[in-house]
Homo-oligomer: A and B are copies of this chain.
């Protein structure tokens, strides 16, 4: 009998609580500020955007927050997700390392995003929300929210970044099949959109602008609407901790103890959800040997090259100010194919953990990432999302280090989604048409000049 390939859990093993890292952080988080007054925001400031339960979760210091049964019931459609031992990848790399990956691509939307979408929509339903608006870049978040809204019978409007709207029609069709209304951003439906279209009718859009549109939509729409964000915020990362909590149980089943955790990072939600449940021991003892490595794209290197400062989450400066690692809210990353990682900022919790030395960060280039993605597809079978291929690149590099050093380590990474809707980028890679982007310091410096004075 060979060692297992997959480590599965039963539905009873779906976590009953989310893990709230806020309870264990050995430092205070800087307050979130109101974009107008620049004073710390209170619940009432956020109430137009979010249901009260999510606002409470955003600031809660309870270690465990119960997952409502209707949310777990939806989770059962795909959770617990499998943990794989990458036997074939290890063999191809001729590494003494043991490589495991947690696979979140089994959700109907194909990524980890539904973990929080379902929770957010549930609380909205409970508080009477009839309609939710959001933005989406590559479409992973939009389709997760469309699915969740469909399951809880809530109207869903998605502002999809124009370039993705045009280039990724499949993602749009998916959202529409789940009943969402999708428009290209910039759109004619908001002031932010119209202003941009007046400036540049052919504007490709950006995530920052799409957020502005969605936020403006919910505060002006006659139907009681709320906004929903797919990453960055504390409650979003917390909902994603089901990933790490399951992984811990599965590694126990495998009799394995991780030496290195690797995840890709854009806004921080799959990385946080995967890594946070492993952190308590390290938060108590910084010398704990577990290394936690975030892999970001060289084209949007907020952790490795961003500034630690208060900044807006969106282009039009409508959102509250968060103290975070940021490239500047006006920064538009190069059009890399990992659209889900093209964001100027970074979850505040991740930033603080990085700043305090609990997690590491590395930036990788696009070609090396696709090389890793193709190698993975050809050994493990699964076609990874370009975002997730960043984590694969990181894991492969760690495994190659093991080979060089002749040391066996246990490497665990989060494979956040599949790449079924990203196949044109694989085609480009195979035909030598994928480029690396060298980001001049000057460009970052310029974008950061517009950082707000707080």
Interface residues of A (CB under 8 A from B): 1-2, 4-6, 8, 10-12, 73, 76-78, 88, 106-108, 110, 147, 150-151, 169-170, 172-174, 176-179, 374, 377-378, 380-383, 420-421, 423-424, 426-427, 430
Contacts and interface: CB of A to CB of B under 8 A. Distances in A.
A383 B108 contact: yes
A170 B11 CA distance: 33
Given A151-B381, A381-B151, A421-B420, A177 B426 contact: yes
The 10 lowest CB-CB distance pairs between A and B, nearest first, are: A108-B381, A5-B76, A173-B423, A173-B427, A420-B420, A170-B423, A177-B426, A77-B381, A150-B378, A108-B382
Given A6-B11, A421-B420, A377 B177 contact: yes
Contact of A177 (B147, B174, B430): B430
A381 B76 CA distance: 11
Nearest to A418: B420
Contacts of A179: 378
26 contacts: A1-B12, A4-B76, A5-B11, A5-B76, A5-B77, A6-B77, A8-B10, A77-B381, A78-B381, A108-B383, A110-B420, A151-B381, A170-B421, A170-B424, A173-B423, A173-B426, A173-B427, A173-B430, A174-B420, A174-B423, A176-B430, A177-B426, A177-B430, A178-B378, A179-B378, A420-B420
A1 B14 CA distance: 12
Nearest to A370: B177
Contact of A8 (B5, B8, B173, B374): B8
A424 B150 CA distance: 20
A427 B176 contact: yes
A91 to B, nearest CB: 11
A380 B109 CA distance: 12
A187 to B, nearest CB: 19
Interface centre among A88, A176, A380, A383 (most CB of B within 10 A): A383
B426 A380 contact: no
A367 B73 CA distance: 31
B106 A106 contact: yes
A379 B72 CA distance: 16
A383 B2 contact: no
A382 to B, nearest CB: 5
A169 B424 contact: yes
A374 B177 contact: yes
B381 A147 contact: yes
B178 A377 contact: yes
